[in-house]
Amino acid sequence: MNTKLEDLLAAVAERGVLVWVNGNTLSLCPRNRMTPELRADLIANKAALVELLRARAIATAGQVLRGEFDNAQLALRMEIARSLHGVDHPSPKRALNILLARQNQSA
């Protein structure tokens, strides 16, 4: 685990900014919450951050595929909750509730 990268992602999340990998780039929303210092740190660590975020996604998907639902479910819920932090639009929250209801019905 790279503490520097984790700290950088935490600092970005604290500002309510979502970060995700889009191809070989990092996407941010909303951009206007970023400080010039955080933006410079993201640019300087872009390649490592893309690799880290892809590894996280692969690890979570691997857990689901192997049937490790308890840990994967928790990780996925935490990631979704973090992603929805500060989102006022009802559609993503409604979609999450539908997915969770379906999951609970199949359990």
Query: Residues 14-37: pLDDT tens digits?
Result: 888 888 888 888 888 888 889 999
Q: Does residue 107 have a pLDDT over 60?
A: no
Reduced 3-state DSSP string for the chain? CCHHHHHHHHHHHHCCCEEEEECCEEEEECHHHCCHHHHHHHHHCHHHHHHHHHHHHHHHHHHHHHCCHHHHHHHHHHHHHHHHCCCCCHHHHHHHHHHHHHHHHHC
Residue 8: per-residue pLDDT: 92
Whole domain around residue 48: which residue ranges?
3-106
> What's the structural domain count of the chain?
1
Higher pLDDT pick, 96 / 16: 16
